[in-house]
Amino acid sequence: MASVYDRSDIYDLFDSPKKDDMTKAHWEAVLSGLPVRTALDVSIGTGSLTLPLAALGVSLYGSDLSETMLARCREKAVKRGLSVDLRQSDFRALTAHFDRTFDCVMSTGNSLAYVPNSEITGVLEQMDALVAPGGVLYFDLRNWDRIVRQKQRFYFYDPAFLPNGDRVNLMQVWDHLPDGSITFHLLYTFERAGKIFQKEHFEEHYYPAAQKLLLDKLAQLGYEDVRVRAFPVQFGAFDPERSNWYCVLARKKA
């Protein structure tokens, strides 16, 4: 089954100026009071969650395993008049592709859950190696603890409307597998004049990551002032029983 990450044209259908504004406001709140001038997103994808950060005067760098996603990110950056240093890289081997440090190293879009739990702490180590002293490490994830506990199977999105009036619907069906991993089925339907004229089905495979595993690793790496908040932060405090997503920001010792 195809991955939606091979179809950046569909992946970005739910982007909008309103979403950009919400993302920018999220970053303004997350990085408030912090001297972040450079930021590396190690799972930048098409840049939807990262490019709005440039409006805050931050120099952006990015990496991703998918060249298709990076190509789309380059296109979007050019349209916005941005210069972004993009490199194809597995975030399990970041230090093979970057030889400098950044004020903020981040992983956006629930991407850490693409690797097994046995490897996710190694990704944090790779990210940490690129965080400047006194800088910050950031990631956002789905609330996997709740998903696993409740065996949640369905997730619905508000529809998107294309410039020509077509309506795009997206729902996800989640298969909980015996090994603890989860297959996401992304089901898109396209409507015109009240009738479905196109369907797309993609699959993504995730390894639920317990929040405690990640926070314990940050503590082991010596991070301080670890903040766990809902994602985006405009949604208020993180609630383990209600929040769909959360984000973590932690400061490295100077």
pLDDT tens sequence across 89-117 = 999 999 999 999 999 999 999 999 999 99
| Residue 168 sits in the same domain as residue 198 | yes
Reported confidence tier of residue 5, pLDDT bands at 50, 70, 90: confident
| Residue 138 sits in the same domain as residue 214 | yes
The pLDDT of residue 148 is 98
Nearest to 249 by CA among 122, 103, 150, 121: 103
Helix (H, G, I), strand (E, B) or coil at 228: strand
| Residue 131 sits in the same domain as residue 219 | yes
Domain that holds residue 184: 147-206
A 10 A CB-CB count for 50 gives 26
Q: How many domains would you assign to the chain?
A: 2
Reported confidence tier of residue 2, pLDDT bands at 50, 70, 90: confident
| Residue 47 sits in the same domain as residue 108 | yes
User: How confident is the model over 35-65, as pLDDT tens digits?
Assistant: 999 999 999 999 999 999 999 999 999 999 9
| Residue 202 sits in the same domain as residue 215 | no
Q: What's the CA angle centered on 76, arms 75 and 80, to 5 degrees? A: 120
The pLDDT of residue 202 is 97
Residue 131 domain flag: yes
Amino acid code (one letter) for 73: C
| Residue 124 sits in the same domain as residue 195 | no
pLDDT at 3 over 90: no
What secondary structure does DSSP assign to 100-140, as a single string? S-EEEEEE-TTGGGGS-HHHHHHHHHHHHHTEEEEEEEEEE
